[in-house]
Structure 1
C-alpha cells in the first residue's frame, strides 16, 4: 500500500488565540483569519483515515462512474427515505478548498418530493422512477463502456452494498492551469468494501496517470498521486465545512437542493489564469480580484432552478450599488410575448460601472494603436458618452419579441424605454440608425417619459397599448418572485417550440413539449453582493 509524501504540505499552520477557543487559519484568498467551528453535520462514527493507496487512472474513471450513479436524481429521489442525513463532502474536504461541487440524491424531504413531482412531468425521466435508478445508470454506463473488465462487475454484488448518496469535488492549492489539484469525495456505506472494489476497478487498466485512494469518515477520497498525505494533513487542520467563509456563504444561500457549488474566485482566477478553455487561453486575472459565488440546483413541483449568490466582491464589482429594480414594465408587455429582456436602473448601473468600462476600453484600444476611442466615437456620431447611453437605458429598458410567423419578412421586435429625456433617447436611436445605414427601418414614438421603438408600426402601437404578460401562469412561475430584479429574461417555450420541435422526435420531442418557460433574473443586493436565478418551468 503506497504512502506518498511528495505532495506539498499546506502552509496554513494553526495558531492559538490569546483567550482560548478554537484555532484559526488563513486559507488562500481569505481576507482575514477564519475560525474553526464544529462541522455542521457529524452523524455516524468517525473512521480513522487510512493511508493513501496509489491507483491508476482507472480510479478516476471509477469516480466518474460513481458520479454518474449519484447523478440519477430523476428516480432516486422517489425511492430514498424522506430525510437527508450523514456528513456532506464538505465535511471531509480540506478547509483550503477554493472550488467545490456537491451532488446529493438524499436532500431534504421537501426537495425530494418537489423533484419527484417536477421530473415526473418529463417523459424521459419519469421512466426512471420505477426500480433502482442507480442500477439503471450503472447498467447504462457499462453498456457504453468498451472495457470487458468493467463489465464483469455486478451492481448488486459489487456496487450497491457500498455506494452512498453524495459525491463532491474540491479544487485546492498546489495545482496548475493544466494540472489542477482536484480531490473527489465519494460517500460510501461500507468503507472497506468500497476501497476494495474501487481498487479492483482501478486494476482493470494498467499505466496512465496515477491517483491516491484515501478513506476518511464515511468517504473515499481520490487525489492526484503524491497529494494523498498533504490532503490528509490539510483535513486535520480543518475541513471546508469548518471554514467560516464557506459556511457563511452556505447559510446565506439557503436550501442546497440536490446539487451545490461554491467558488472563491480570487485564488481560482490566479491559479487557473492562462488556462485553456475551449481552446482559447484565458487572460491573467486582476491581482486584487476577490469574491465568492455559491449556487444550488433546487426543485419545486412546477419548476427547477439554479439559484445563487455572489458575495464579498471587490474592485469594479464592489463599486456597483443596489438600484430600484422593478419588473412592472416587463409584466405589462402584450400577453403573446415570445421572449423579452428587461433592465431596471440601467442609467444608474452604467454610471457606476463607467469608470471601469472606460478604462478597459482604453486599454484594449491602446493595444491596437488608438489613443482616444471614445472621443472618436463621439466625434463621428455626435454623441456624448456616457450621458447619451444613460438616457437610452433610462430607469427601465425592455426589449421584446412577440409571437409571430417567422419568414422572409423583417421580424417584429421592439423596445420601450422609461427615461428622463425620451426625446433625446429618440435622437440617439436615430443617430445610431443613420450611422448603420439602416435609416427608416425603425418606427419610433415618444409618449411623455417613454420611448417606443419597433421594426413595424403595428408593434409600436401594441407596445404602447400593453398587456397582461405578468398575469400569465408561465410568467408568474418563471419570474413571479423576482419582481424587484435589476435584470430579467423571459422566454415562452410553448410559443418558441414551433421553431425547433419538428426537428425532434420520440422521447426528445415529448421532453421538449413538457417545458413551458424560462426565467432568468439577477439583483444587486449590496456592495459587492448579488443574487441570481435561472428557472425552467414545466407544463
Structure 2
C-alpha cells in the first residue's frame, strides 16, 4: 500500500468518523458507498444468475442453415436443470445402485467409461477432460443428398487436435484409418464421412448457421425453455422424406382382411392402405407442405417433461390436437381419479374425421363403408352415432384403489370403478347407448346413462357412474396439474395417478421388492395435446414425489 493511498484512506476515515466532519460529506460518502456496494453486489448476482441459468453456446451454431434434421444433447445445462436431473434420478434405487452419479460428478467421465468399456486405455482426466466440452449434436445436412454430421464442443482447440486422434486410435486402429473425417472450427469439432465433407460443412456454416435460421428459431422457441435434449425437423425434411417414400414404394397389400392390430378388418377396406403406391402419392403431397417441428426434453424440480410442437396441417390436422370448444370434461372428473383419458371435439369434428380418412384412404372413400365392420360389431351407425354418443367432450375415468387381482380372481367386472363421462344430451346419448346394450347383451341396469352436472356418465358400477357424473375437481388438483400443465386448453389428455394405483402397482410388481421400490417415487404421468395457430402441441410429463 503506497503512502499516498494510506494518507487518503486515513483522511477519509477522519471525515467519516471525525466530530468536525460536515454532515453533507458524510451523507455523500455513505450514499455513494451504498450505491457502489449495491452495484458490485448486483453485478455479482447477475453474473451468478447468468452462469447458473444460461445454456451457453449450442451446437446449432456449428451447423449450416441447410441442416434438415438435428438432435442435440447438453450435459451441462443450466445449473438448476443439472441438479434437478440428478436429484430426481437418485430417487430411484436402481439409479443409485447401478449408476451412482452424484450431483457434483462429471457425467462426461461416466459416459466415456461406459462407451470405452475397457477397450480404450486413455486417462479421461488427463487426456480427454482438458479439451472435451459438454455439448454435442447429430444432424442431417443438405437437401439434395443429406449427409450425416456430428459436432462436439471443445474447450481447447489446441489440445483437441491430439485428443481426437488419440480417441480415434482406440482399439488398435490408426486415426487415419478410422473411417471418419473431421476438422476443428473454433469451439467445435465437426465430424463427417470424410475430412473434405467436414470442411464443406464449416464453409456452409460461415454463410449462415442453423442457430440463425428463422425456422429453427421459431420452432425451438415454440417448444419452450431449453433443456437436456433438443430436436428439430426443418421444412425441407418433409420434401426429403417424400422423395425417400417414392423410392421405397413397392406393390402388394399392406393389410389383409383382419390382423392383430385391426381385428374388425377396417384397415383392409381402406384403398389407400391396401394400395401402398396410392397412399405414398398422397403422403408425398402432404409432406411437401410440411412446415417443421421441434421437441425439448427438460428437467424441473418435480419431474421431467418432453414438449413437442409441429405442423399438423400438412397431415390433415387431428381432432386430438384441435382447440376444445369448452372446458375439457376430463377436468371435471373426481379429484381422486386414478386414470383419466379425455378428448374434446371441435364443431363438425366428424367432417374433419372424414377428411382425415379420405386423406389416407382416398378422396372417394365412403366413411360408412370403412366403419361397416365396426358398426356390425357394436350395433351402432358409424360414424354418424359418434357425435351423438360422445358429444363435444368425453373422458374415461378409472377410480382409485382398483383391485386388479381381486377382479381377475372373481371374474366379475360389475363393481369395477370405471365410467365414461360425456357432455351432451342425455336422451340422445341414451338412444345410442341402448344399441350398445342390446348388441352386447348387457344385464339390466348396466351401461345406462346417469345424468349429472351438465354431463352424462355411463359405467359398469352405477354408484361410481353417479359420482363421475357430478362436477369434480380433477383439473384443479396439484397432482393433475403437475403433469398436465395446459389442462384448460388441451384437447386430448391421458392422466395416470401412480399414487392412486397402489394396489395395481403392487400387483404389477409381482411381489418383487426391487420393482416396487423403483416404482415408488413415481407420482403421476401425463400426456396432453392441443392446437395453437395451426401447430400441434404435446407435452409428456412424469412427476415424482
Q: Please indicate, yes or no, whether the TM-score normalized by the shorter chain is above 0.5.
A: yes
Give the equivalent residue in structure 1 for 2:179. 210
Aligned equivalents of 1:518, 1:373: Cα separation in 2: 34
Aligned equivalents of 2:161, 2:327: Cα separation in 1: 55
Q: Would the aligned equivalents of 1:347 and 1:390 in 2 still touch at CA under 8 Å?
A: no
Give the equivalent residue in structure 2 for 1:287. 285
How many Å apart are 1:515 and its aligned residue? Answer: 1.2
Q: Would the aligned equivalents of 1:388 and 1:425 in 2 still touch at CA under 8 Å?
A: no
Aligned equivalents of 2:323, 2:474: Cα separation in 1: 26
Q: Residues 520, 383 of structure 1: CA spacing in aligned structure 2 closer, same or farther, 3 A cutoff?
A: same
Partner residue of 1:444 out of 441, 448, 451:
448
Q: Residues 440, 159 of structure 1: CA spacing in aligned structure 2 closer, same or farther, 3 A cutoff?
A: farther
Give the equivalent residue in structure 1 for 2:396. 399
Q: Residues 169, 359 of structure 1: CA spacing in aligned structure 2 closer, same or farther, 3 A cutoff?
A: closer
Q: Residues 322, 168 of structure 1: CA spacing in aligned structure 2 closer, same or farther, 3 A cutoff?
A: same
Q: Would the aligned equivalents of 2:525 and 2:541 in 1 still touch at CA under 8 Å?
A: yes
Instruction: Establish whether residue 107 from structure 1 lines up as the match of residue 83 from structure 2.
Output: no
Q: Would the aligned equivalents of 2:323 and 2:490 in 1 still touch at CA under 8 Å?
A: no
Partner residue of 1:132 out of 106, 112, 120:
106
Q: Residues 534, 171 of structure 1: CA spacing in aligned structure 2 closer, same or farther, 3 A cutoff?
A: same
Q: Which runs of 5+ in 1 are unaligned?
A: 1-79
Partner residue of 1:501 out of 472, 487, 509:
509
Q: Would the aligned equivalents of 2:324 and 2:490 in 1 still touch at CA under 8 Å?
A: no
Aligned equivalents of 1:321, 1:518: Cα separation in 2: 22
Aligned equivalents of 2:284, 2:543: Cα separation in 1: 38
Q: Would the aligned equivalents of 2:322 and 2:346 in 1 still touch at CA under 8 Å?
A: no
Q: Residues 198, 525 of structure 1: CA spacing in aligned structure 2 closer, same or farther, 3 A cutoff?
A: same
Instruction: Establish whether residue 314 from structure 1 lines up as the match of residue 321 from structure 2.
Output: no
Give the equivalent residue in structure 1 for 2:538. 532
Aligned equivalents of 1:454, 1:162: Cα separation in 2: 63
Instruction: Establish whether residue 475 from structure 1 lines up as the match of residue 480 from structure 2.
Output: yes
Summarize the alignment of residues 246-265 of structure 1 with structure 2, pairs less than 5 Å apart.
246-264=216-234, 265=237
How many Å apart are 1:344 and its aligned residue? Answer: 1.6
Give the equivalent residue in structure 1 for 2:33. none
Q: Would the aligned equivalents of 2:324 and 2:489 in 1 still touch at CA under 8 Å?
A: no
Give the equivalent residue in structure 2 for 1:523. 530
Aligned equivalents of 1:503, 1:362: Cα separation in 2: 51
Partner residue of 1:168 out of 137, 144, 149:
137
How many Å apart are 1:138 and its aligned residue? Answer: 2.6
Looking at secondary structure, tell me which structure has more strand per residue.
Answer: 1
Q: Would the aligned equivalents of 1:347 and 1:391 in 2 still touch at CA under 8 Å?
A: no
Aligned equivalents of 1:210, 1:350: Cα separation in 2: 55
SS of residue in 1 equivalent to 2:64: coil
1:227-263, CA deviations, whole angstroms, 9 ceiling, x for partnerless residues?
A: 3344234323321112111112223333112211111
Give the equivalent residue in structure 1 for 2:242. 270
Summarize the alignment of residues 20-99 of structure 1 with structure 2, pairs less than 5 Å apart.
82-84=52-54, 86-99=56-69
Q: Residues 494, 271 of structure 1: CA spacing in aligned structure 2 closer, same or farther, 3 A cutoff?
A: farther
How many Å apart are 1:91 and its aligned residue? Answer: 0.4
How many Å apart are 1:417 and its aligned residue? Answer: 0.4
Q: Residues 372, 132 of structure 1: CA spacing in aligned structure 2 closer, same or farther, 3 A cutoff?
A: closer
1:414-448, CA deviations, whole angstroms, 9 ceiling, x for partnerless residues?
A: 201002x3323333234345445667694222427
Structure with the larger RCO, 1 or 2 (CA within 8 Å, 6+ apart): 1
Give the equivalent residue in structure 1 for 2:497. 492
Q: Residues 239, 384 of structure 1: CA spacing in aligned structure 2 closer, same or farther, 3 A cutoff?
A: same
Q: Residues 493, 205 of structure 1: CA spacing in aligned structure 2 closer, same or farther, 3 A cutoff?
A: farther
Instruction: Establish whether residue 240 from structure 1 lines up as the match of residue 210 from structure 2.
Output: yes
1:126-172, CA deviations, whole angstroms, 9 ceiling, x for partnerless residues?
A: 641244333233333334x5x3xx1x111111211111011111122
Q: Would the aligned equivalents of 1:90 and 1:240 in 2 still touch at CA under 8 Å?
A: yes
Q: Residues 431, 234 of structure 1: CA spacing in aligned structure 2 closer, same or farther, 3 A cutoff?
A: farther
CA RMSD for the aligned pairs? 3.7
SS of residue in 2 equivalent to 1:236: helix
SS of residue in 2 equivalent to 1:444: coil
Give the equivalent residue in structure 2 for 1:513. 520
Give the equivalent residue in structure 2 for 1:390. 387
SS of residue in 1 equivalent to 2:527: strand
TM-score of the superposition, structure 1-length normalised?
0.71
Q: Residues 359, 83 of structure 1: CA spacing in aligned structure 2 closer, same or farther, 3 A cutoff?
A: closer
